[in-house]
Amino acid sequence: MTPMIDVVFQLIIFFMCTLKISEPEGDFEISMPLGAPNAAADSDAQLPPFKVRLRAGADGRLAELTFNGTNLGSGESAFAKLNSEVLRAVNALGAIGKEQQEKQEVEIDSDYNLNYRYIINAIGACSGRMQNGVTVRYISKIKFAPIRQQQ
């Protein structure tokens, strides 16, 4: 009887040690419909997409963030500014119609060597914000511009 209990305890300890608690991971969906690199005709939205340009420094860090031509700088505050600029632009679209708001796309154009984290931050900043634990969506359609080859 006792040897069996010993074995059973060994098993428990084994499973307790191999247990791994992983954090919940979220994701951002991007829309890249097939066969449409020049998607002017394919795009649902009547207006051109919002353009987010991310320029990288030599080490892959963000050097400059531009939204529809407006320079928002670099660093943490750049994404906060991007978030408010996108909100402003989306609200302005509201004047045209709710449908247009929903169909609006954002195109992300980044340098090849930019660290991937800035892409995620940009997508996050364009997608919406957290308000009291609830996600408020600005844009749901995000796509990438054609790849800029490494210099």
Partner 1 sequence: MIDVVFQLIAFFMLINNFEQAEADERVVLPRDQLAAPPLVHRQHSFLLNFGYLRDQKGVIIDPKPYFFFGDERAELASVRARLRQESQYYKTTGTDLAEITVEIRADAEVPAGLVQELIQMCQEEGIAFQRFALKATQKATEY
Query: Contact residues for partner 1 (CB under 8 A)?
Result: 5, 8-9, 11-12, 15-16, 18-20, 22-34, 54, 56, 60, 110-121, 123-124, 127-130, 135, 144, 147-150
CB 123 to partner 1: min, Å: 7
CB 99 to partner 1: min, Å: 23
Give the residue from 66, 58, 137 showing the smallest Cα distance to 108. Answer: 66
Phi, psi angles (nearest 5°) of residue 135 = -85, 125
By beta-carbon proximity to partner 1, the closer residue of 17 and 95 is 17
By beta-carbon proximity to partner 1, the closer residue of 95 and 130 is 130
By beta-carbon proximity to partner 1, the closer residue of 28 and 92 is 28
CB 57 to partner 1: min, Å: 13
CB 29 to partner 1: min, Å: 5
78-86's contacts with Cβ under 8 Å and 24+ in sequence apart are 79/121, 79/122, 79/124, 79/125, 80/125, 82/52, 82/122, 82/125, 82/126, 83/125, 83/126, 83/129, 86/50, 86/125, 86/126, 86/138, 86/139
